[in-house]
Amino acid sequence: MISDGRSRTRTYAAGALALLAFATGCGDNGGGGSAPAAQGTGTASAAPRPTGGAPATAAPTTAAPAGADAAAWAKWNLTPLAPAPAPPADKPIKLERTGTVPVFSEVKTNDKVVFVTIDDGAEKDPKFVEMLTDLKVPISMFLTRDIVRNDYAYFKPLQALGNHIQNHTVDHPVMSKIPAEKQKSEICDAQSALTQQYGTAPLLFRPPFGDGAGTATLNTSVQQCGPRAIVLWRESMQIHDMQYQAGDKKLKPGDIILAHFRGPSELKGATMTQMFGDLLARIQEQGFSVARLEDYIQAPAS
Ligand SMILES: [Zn+2]
């Protein structure tokens, strides 16, 4: 999709994409994949509760970073994820200032890292801010204006941790079902609101459900509003497990994972922090670290 031929990203035909997106995309209520919650690798009965504040007796079973970090992870009933390697100096994805925007759902890298993106913004659980402040796991937030506008401030401490705010429309429509002018207002109005609220313009756009990502109409609409890439995903976090697009149900280096700001009403009683802890455990047990997506993307020269 990049006109200069440097694209190393994967693109998808719109039809196949829509099928995948509707099977796994945001907007569903995560009915699939609800295996028993297995948090961390320790013995559950001996571990502190996820929201407890007394990690003193937890014994890390793997080599941990600094002691304070291990205690922070133990507070959430998790063992520390291996730190991500330093971001590549030569970014695998290079965005251009003008022209067609690339569509990607993974990043080409040999680093054993995956990227976590969290969408919409419905659940605003203070415990999740506390969790990310403790763990400092990088995330990218694709926010929908009308879902976050009742509390823009919730996301600011998450942003202050170094996490980026990205564009996920005004009110979460199925983009291919609306005309070009409406597509444009969905993206441009969210872009201006998010830029005003968070002080920086989103570089990336994600269409709700992944719908329309491969269409020329949506690509043009995105170009008119400022984001310089359309970002999809390879895995979708449900409640305790991920749905995989790959048949082998395994993470690959550079995969982008979709999750949502969701609470107990959408997670069959589980909390946002329990869902996120289970996501980290699923990543850890496959030997991956979490890196920051924007650290693997070169923004256009200004
Ligand atoms: Zn969404």
124 alpha carbon – ligand 1 mean position (Å): 15
Distances (CA, A) of 19 to 48, 168, 186, 209, 248: 41, 20, 23, 10, 19
74 alpha carbon – ligand 1 mean position (Å): 31
pTM of the predicted model as reported, rounded to 2 decimal places: 0.80
Amino acid 67: pLDDT:
53
Cβ(257)–Cβ(242) under 8 Å? yes
Coil vs helix vs strand at 214: coil
295 alpha carbon – ligand 1 mean position (Å): 23
**Ligand 1 being an ion, which residues bring their Cβ within 5 A of it?**
26, 119-120, 208
Quote the tokens at residue 298.
């070169």
Task: Measure the CA–CA gap between 135 and 128, rounded to whole angstroms.
Answer: 10
179 alpha carbon – ligand 1 mean position (Å): 19
Judge whether residue 220 has pLDDT over 50: yes
Judge whether residue 35 has pLDDT over 60: no
Task: Measure the CA–CA gap between 157 and 93, rounded to whole angstroms.
Answer: 27
Quote the tokens at residue 70.
């291990």
Q: Model confidence over 175-207: pLDDT tens digits?
A: 999 999 999 999 999 999 999 999 999 999 999
Q: Which residue, among 157, 180, 164, 160, has the nearest Cα to 228 in the 3D structure? A: 164
